[in-house]
Structure 1
């Protein structure tokens, strides 16, 4: 029998609601998995993927400061600084959204779920973890396509883990992905317009400059030979080429 709770459909089983049906399908995998795998997924979903996103961002920073021109490094580092800022802003935006929607966690309204993380008493829509993961991934993608693609895969895995753990509906995850992406894309022009000059100024300082641009990379650019075209015969001796006058 189905009802409504805070505007969302509630069913005792998966029923015909695709959101709840997908919740049971994904979370059902946790019931069939061995205990060690569920404990691994619990750690990955709560902390592991977020840590992996931080490591990808650090790897991207290490790469961009050692390649390309100084302007490329400044623009990329500004984009990397925007990533955690965008995630923080997205989480702040989610506070009134959660308070307005007030959707309970799925295990309050649906029996038979395998809940891997206990003690979740806050509202479910939208998922903070999914919001933060996608905000970081989207910011990385507009900064560096290769590292951003890796981050997007990690963000998708984060969303899957939240449903697998029984603490979010699939639509909570989708809402988080949409919120994180929207904050990054809508505010990126203003944020980068402010951050790029700041990062450029820091790159010019002796103390903080290496955080933006590797000195080895600058030295390699200066050491590159410059091709100077030879003059085309102006003032040359006619016999210089071994030809008789």
Structure 2
């Protein structure tokens, strides 16, 4: 069975499982993932506290790089149609996204944030993972992404966060976030 056949089978199978309560839950998780807003808010909260400021900045950097690579580069090179374009029988519960399908931006940003929590061994990493997972799953459930789009988003998000966290670990003694923040504000 080829990947596209598996993708279609999963999307169509999830369509058959849709029920009102689950629909509301999945629409909620999809919405908080729009433009990575939940992760940006989390990062800004971390930036406000001196003790966690570097972590917030690292998340913001990982989100920015992930967005550039995923939304700006990969989607426009690959140009994969979304499931609701290829499968006219899908029932959409949200407004159809205008961008291409691969990789899932919601998933990439969610796993970029989770990756920072994981690779830096931060508290609450498993809460962040559960939220990231539900955001990613919601995109398939709602028929706006294929399973392979989700896998691509996970790989992109974790890959970027690994590189950013590795750089931070190697250079953390040279990085002074207070000076960085002051420069940004002036």
Check 1:122–1:195 CA distance in 2 against 1; reply closer, same or farther (3 A cut): farther
Q: What aligned pairs does 1:57-72 form with structure 2 within 5 A after superposition? A: none
1:198 aligns to 2:176 (yes or no): yes
CA distance in 1, matches of 2:98, 2:177: 41
Higher relative contact order (CA 8 A, sep 6+): 2
Structure 1 stretches of at least 4 aligned residues deviating more than 6 Å after TM superposition? 58-62
Look up the SS of the partner of 1:197 in the other structure: coil
1:87 aligns to 2:72 (yes or no): no
- Asked if 1 retains the 8 angstrom alpha-carbon contact of 2:110 and 2:132, the reply is yes
How much has 1:121 moved relative to structure 2? 2.6
TM-score after normalising by structure 2: 0.79
- Asked if 1 retains the 8 angstrom alpha-carbon contact of 2:111 and 2:153, the reply is yes
How much has 1:54 moved relative to structure 2? 5.4
Q: Which structure features the higher share of helix residues?
A: 2
Q: What aligned pairs does 1:92-111 form with structure 2 within 5 A after superposition? A: 92-94=68-70, 95-111=72-88
Query: What are the superposed Cα offsets for residues 40-93 of structure 1, whole Å, 9 maximum, x if unpaired?
Result: 42232122695554566577678x86xxxxxxx4xx531231012101111101
CA distance in 1, matches of 2:145, 2:46: 30
Pairwise CA RMSD of aligned residues?
Answer: 3.1
1:26 aligns to 2:14 (yes or no): yes
What residue ranges of structure 1 are gaps of 5+ in the alignment? 1-7, 10-16, 66-72, 206-245
Look up the SS of the partner of 2:99 in the other structure: coil
Q: What aligned pairs does 1:5-154 form with structure 2 within 5 A after superposition? A: 9=4, 17-30=5-18, 33-34=19-20, 37-47=22-32, 53=39, 73=51, 76-94=52-70, 95-154=72-131
TM-score after normalising by structure 1: 0.62
- Asked if 1 retains the 8 angstrom alpha-carbon contact of 2:102 and 2:152, the reply is yes
1:170 aligns to 2:147 (yes or no): yes
- Asked if 1 retains the 8 angstrom alpha-carbon contact of 2:15 and 2:141, the reply is yes
How much has 1:19 moved relative to structure 2? 1.8
Look up the SS of the partner of 2:123 in the other structure: helix
What residue ranges of structure 2 are gaps of 5+ in the alignment? none
Q: What is the count of residue pairs matched by the alignment?
A: 179
Look up the SS of the partner of 1:189 in the other structure: helix
Query: What are the superposed Cα offsets for residues 6-53 of structure 1, whole Å, 9 maximum, x if unpaired?
Result: xx84xxxxxxx22211121223222xx12x652442232122695554
Structure showing greater radius of gyration is 1
CA distance in 2, matches of 1:41, 1:25: 15
